[in-house]
Structures are given as structure tokens and as C-alpha cells.
Structure 1
Amino acid sequence: MPCTLYLGFEGVLHPNQVFFSTGGLPKLKAPGHKLFENNHFLEQILEAVPDTPIVIHSWWVYYVGYRAARERLPAVAQRQVIGATWPRNRVTRFKSKEPTPRSDWLIQDLARRRPQSVAIVDYDYRLVPTQLKDVAFILHGTQGLCSQEQCDALITLLREAPACSPLVPLGRKGTPASASNT
């Protein structure tokens, strides 16, 4: 079974200085950069590891919806997207009060999907559950996925990610459920 890639957009496919507003398209506040400027590196990775299922793990889904977020990816990536960590559909997202932290979306999605192995690519190490830090690929938030060396390292991670052994049911903040209930 291929490794499931949990893909952040902010700080990965473009700098993390994105301004989100309800009902409008996100705007990048990083002079000299553009949204999704690193998509070509994602394409290279997926050409090397073509059966990689992708789960979108990004605020883009909350603000513009799942389909619109997926459509920002290169075609090869769009075909491999199997879902998103944001747990609600487009209709309900603005009816809810404050959204839960993005780290909670990841924890809930991992518990629901129970992938055999995962790789997480993001810009913030704090958003990764403790027991998955060894399969997290953390990038510099203002540059993101911007070099061939990073692509090669992520390809290696996707090919060699250990199986979740077994994925411990997760409680809040990435701790095992039994530990979070004490």
C-alpha cells in the first residue's frame, strides 16, 4: 500500500504569508512570490512516486472549498487527491463557529482513514502529532518546497515511510487517546 501524503499548501506550495477572507480568494502577502509557485516541484515528486494518495491539509479547503482547493494543484496531483482533513463540506463550513485548530483536523482524519503509512509535508512542526514527527517533512514557511534536494528527500520519505504501527487512536493534541483521558 502506498504512503499517504498529507499535503499542506501554506509554506509548502507557496510562502505561508496568505491572507484569507470569508467569501474572497486568498491573497499572498509575500512580495516577489505567487500562489502555488512550487507546484512544479510537486509534479516532479508525483512522477517519481506515482501511486501516492494525497490528502489536502490546508486552510484553503476551509475558505474556498474542497473542489476549488484541489483545482489549484497540478493535474497529476488532482487525480491523486482522495480527500481533505477539513471535516465538513462547503455548505456547513461558515455555519460553524470558530474552526478547530488545523492540527486537530489532521488528528481526526488520521483516526478516520487509518492509513497504513503517512508522510506529512508542512511548514509548522507544532501541527504534527508527536508519534508522527519522524514522518514529517517540515519546510521553511517563507520558501516552501523550492529545491531539487527537498524533492529528493520527500521522494525518499514517501518510498520509505514506516508503516503506522498500528496507528494509535489519537486524542487531542496528538497524544494517544488513553493518555489524553487521564
Structure 2
Amino acid sequence: MALTTLEVSPVRPLHVLYLDFDGVLHPDSVYLTRNGIELLHRPGHTLFEHVSLLEEELQPYPDVKIVLSTSWQLIKGGYEHAKSKLPAGLQERCIGGTFHRREMRKAWFESMSRPDQVILNVKRRQPSRWIAIDDCPEEWPAWALDCVVRADPEQGIASGAVLAEMKTKCKRQFGARS
């Protein structure tokens, strides 16, 4: 009997983008109403209006995975519902959310700041590189700010300064553009 050699592929380092929706992919004035999730008081804007900018920025980094860090994962349908709001290409990158029903109570999670939610998840997943896109940068600890893209609550990632910061941090964290 001949012995065969197992081919072992090298383990790729985990690179994660922690993604908030409100104030990032559209303005932050989003509310749960009787009609569902609605963007209120922002004429001329739509939910997920900046998603193509995110797709474009992540295109050179095919190994980057997405972890949802949005309150959308707390409503009916949870993580799967939130993920379904993204285009197929971004859905394929999703590997989970910062909220896990098996690991934590909803009330406890809701009482945590977004930075605490993300940092807890970073400790659990241990990505080698990560970035969080969030519209509340003042809540982040100073040591994490190199990994945080500060979105504009009204313009999200469509703001020129935010887009420039996202490009710089993606390049630094995830590799040079090809």
C-alpha cells in the first residue's frame, strides 16, 4: 500500500471589516416603523445608497471578510435579515455579526457601545487585521482609532474625507492596491 502525501494549503490570515449600516451606507436617521425600517427626514436619500462605494473599495481585497456591527441584526430576522440587505458580492464576504443569540442576551448587547461590541468580537475572532467603519468615532478608545474609519452621519462613506480615510486604512491594513 502506497502512502500519499496530504496537500495542506496555507492558512490565510483573517482580515475583517466591521460594518455598520446607519451613518455609513446611508444617513443615520433610520427608524423601525410599522412599515419596516425606514430612512426618515432625508429627502433625496435612500437606504444603502452608498453600498457601491464599499463594493468598489473592497474589490482589490478579495480576502477581506465582513462582520456586521449594525443594530439591524437585532430586529426580526436577525443577522440573516441584515445580511440580505447587502448585494450578493458583499453577502458572500459576510462571516457573522457582532451579536450572537447563543452567546449573549439582547438587552446586554444593546447596552454596550458599538466600540465595545466590535472589540469583544475582535478578541473572540482574533483577526490578524481589521477595520471598523462607524459614525460614532468619539466612543472608540484611542488605541483602536488606527483601525476605525470615521463615517459622516449624514454622508456616510460618500464624504470625500471619509472615502480617502477608508482607502488609506484599507491599503495599510489589507495590502497595496493592485
Aligned partner (choices 56, 77, 93) of residue 80 of structure 1:
93
* 1:46/1:77 contact within 8 Å kept: no
Report the TM-score when normalising by structure 1. 0.75
Q: CA RMSD in A?
A: 2.4
Q: How far apart, in 2, do the equivalents of 1:120 and 1:72 lie?
A: 19
- Comparing 51-60 with 25-34, greater Cα deviation is found at 25-34
Structure 2 residue matching 1:53: 3-state secondary structure: strand
Instruction: Please give the secondary structure, in 1, of the residue aligned with 2:59.
Output: helix
Alignment of 1:33-182 (within 5 A): 33-64=45-76, 65-88=78-101, 93=106, 96=107, 99-101=110-112, 102-146=114-158, 150-151=162-163, 153-161=165-173
Per the alignment, do residues 83 and 42 of structure 1 end up closer, same or farther by CA in structure 2, a change over 3 Å counting? Answer: same
Max Rg structure:
2
TM-score, structure 2 normalization: 0.77
- Structure 1 gap segments, 5+ residues each: 163-182
Cα deviation, residue 24, structure 1: 6.0
Instruction: Give percent identity, aligned residues only.
Output: 31
CA contact (8 A) 2:16 2:65 kept: yes
Query: Using a 3 Å threshold, how does the CA distance of structure 1 residues 148 and 47 change in structure 2: closer, same or farther?
Result: farther
1:25 pairs with 2:36:
yes
Give 1:155 shift: 3.2
Distance 2:150 2:161 in 1: 13
Deviation at 1:20, TM superposition (A): 2.6
Unaligned runs of 5+ in 2: 1-12
Count of aligned positions? 157
SS at match of 2:43: coil
Deviation sequence 1:118-171 (CA, Å, 0-9, x none): 111111103423321112110110110115774454233123129xxxxxxxxx
